[in-house]
Amino acid sequence: MLRVSAVCEEAGIPAATLVSEGFIRQAAMTSVGLGLPGMPVALVPGHPDAQSPEELRSNILEVTTQKVIDCLLKTSALGEIDVEPAERDIVFSGGFDQVNDFFYDSDWTDGLPIVPPTRSKVESFLRWTERKPEDVIGIMLPDRRAATVWSIAVNGVMAGCRPEHMPVLVALVAAMVDPEYGVEHSGNTPGSETLIMLNGPITKQLGFNYTQGVMRDGFRANTAVGRFWRLYLKNVAGFILHKTDKATYGNTFRVVVGENEEVLRELGWPPLSADMGRRAGDNTVTIARYSGGNVIAGVAGSTAKAIMANLADAMIRQYSWQLCFFIGSGTGSLRPLLVLSPILAQTIARDGWTKDHIRQYLFEHSRMPAWKFERYLRDWMNKPLWNLAEQVKLGNIPALFHVSDDPERLVPPVFKPADFMILVTGDPMRTNAYVFAHNGRIGFPVCKPIALPANWDGLMASAPPKAG
Amino acid sequence: MDTKQSASDGYYEVLWPRSPRQTKKKTLARRLDTLKGKTIAQFWDFVFSGDKVHEALEFSLKERFPGVRFVSWKEFGNTHGQDERKILEELPARLKALGVDAAISGMGA
């Protein structure tokens, strides 16, 4: 809403932004990045969805109306944008504990101690990229800061990354700033967390875990790079808890998940990177944002169909509010992720199935009754415009959503089989799977190549021994 | 030298982990003298009862400012949806074409 108001103000049209009680501070912080610090907003008391229609109307008539009038008629002074250090400034000197206290008090950490980002440490990271430190990879809301290569190195050091992780970090930030991903939504209330999926020979070269316990912290590369993601979102994008990050609950960062390409090659299945439009064997990062998911433990079955029946059921159970919240909205923007352990993939492949067969099966069997789909969209999210029959008629959604008027007819959470994503990783010998509930345009999947410096092999050969 | 041993936990000269903001302070649009006879655009992100809020606001503003006219949120679509970037890009021209004098945008919740 603030972004709409900012565009209006710039176009010379005075605007009133309707903001409910719990979001006034976020609005104030976000307005700074829009260049309109302290832009006027109109208070909506309480939360609109927790009020009866009568209460809400009364609040709007008695409180919000006057605030709107004030916004549109009264001239108010904007606040100031704080003066900040220059990018390469030394901001503090002291011992390890003092540095950590200073960074914590400045709200630049995730709560854990950081590795002090000294110039020599940062320079050691910069040697692992051919990009110049001042290169700007993109500009990110809400703070509208420049995602520079220098700042990537600083936050990489802080996260506990090793210098050779730098090419992965640069690729991650390129993915983060991609408009398709939608980083500006990262402070929204579902508090969803990004999953970073890694492909290519770099997975093994840098010691990323791609087998048992792949989503658990414990491997330095997986953990430190995952931590970097959250630090960068905070320090450069500007998502700060109790200010611009409005996660109702939130999660800790997810560690990087490597795909098991050895098993994929054995099966003749393409890796995720190829599904995302890159060449099999390329070093890539793929990111997507998920509010949650579930491990599907003990998937029994010695045939593809037996396994997939269980997984299709597990998949659709992950979908409820995602269908209706903001940018899922039944508009075909969901990309559910199915994670298969190698042994499940091998058992499915034994029947001659490919990844496309799996996607087709999920599309046909991972469905819910039409009445339920509509209920999520219309009745439980105050979306008055929603009706499957009407949306089909308008050409907004595929015809398969209204093949009859039977409310029990089954409809999928996606528009086409290709929307399902598949990743093979985890304990090679355990028959468990994982399904992730995707959040639509609030973290849409994006894949970026990892650019290695020309002297990568030489650098790797001369890299100091790993400390962890 | 940015690191030296001065105490049991070392000595570090540390860098700023943020990066420069790429925005300069802008100015707000000139406020109106009255809403009488003006055209107000309604924007909605299709959640948090914004339709009901806009309806109530329209009612109360019409009572207080005769002749005030509204361009419905239906005209613009979901401003927080997958078309947000396109909607924002085209907005200045649309505001002009629709003769809009003021805007109300919701819902932040």
User: How much is the ipTM here?
Assistant: 0.91
With 60 as the cut, is the pLDDT of residue A122 above it? yes
Please name the residue of chain B whose CA is at the shortest distance from the CA of residue A108: B17
Q: Do A35 and B26 touch (CB under 8 A)?
A: yes
With 80 as the cut, is the pLDDT of residue A28 above it? yes
* pLDDT at B7 (0 to 100): 55
* pLDDT at B1 (0 to 100): 47
With 90 as the cut, is the pLDDT of residue A94 above it? yes
A293 touches chain B (CB under 8 A): no
Higher pLDDT, A323 or A56: A56
**Spatial distance between the Cα atoms of A24 and A42, rounded to a whole number of angstroms:** 9
For A37-67, the pLDDT digits (tens) are: 999 999 999 998 889 999 999 999 999 999 9
For A395-433, the pLDDT digits (tens) are: 888 999 999 999 999 999 999 999 999 999 999 999 999
* pLDDT at A379 (0 to 100): 80
**Spatial distance between the Cα atoms of A420 and A440, rounded to a whole number of angstroms:** 12
* pLDDT at A328 (0 to 100): 53
The low-confidence residues of chain B, meaning pLDDT below 70, are 1-7, 109
Contacts of B108 in chain A (CB under 8 A): 1-2, 17-20, 23, 26-27, 41
Q: Which of residues 222-251 of A touch B (CB under 8 A)?
A: 231, 235-236
Please name the residue of chain A whose CA is at the shortest distance from the CA of residue B62: A65
Q: Which of residues 21-60 of A touch B (CB under 8 A)?
A: 22-23, 26-27, 32-37, 39-42, 44, 47-49, 51, 53, 56-57, 60
* pLDDT at B42 (0 to 100): 97
Contacts of A50 in chain B (CB under 8 A): none
Instruction: Please count the residue pairs, one from chain A and one from chain B, whose beta carbons lie less than 8 angstroms apart.
Output: 303
Q: Do B16 and A87 touch (CB under 8 A)?
A: yes
Higher pLDDT, A233 or A391: A233
Q: Which of residues 72-91 of B touch A (CB under 8 A)?
A: 74, 78-82, 84-85, 87-88, 91
**Which of A7, A16, A90 minimises the CB distance to B91?**
A7
Contacts of A236 in chain B (CB under 8 A): 18-19
Average pLDDT over residues A222-226: 98
Higher pLDDT, A462 or A259: A259
Q: Nearest C-alpha of chain B: how many angstroms from A5?
A: 6
Q: Angle between the A166-176 and A119-126 helix axes, to the nearest 10 degrees?
A: 80
Q: What is the mean pLDDT of chain A?
A: 94
Q: Nearest C-alpha of chain B: how many angstroms from A345?
A: 34
Query: Considering the entire predicted model, what is its pTM?
Result: 0.91
* pLDDT at A468 (0 to 100): 46
B98 touches chain A (CB under 8 A): no
**A330 pLDDT tier (thresholds 50, 70, 90):** low
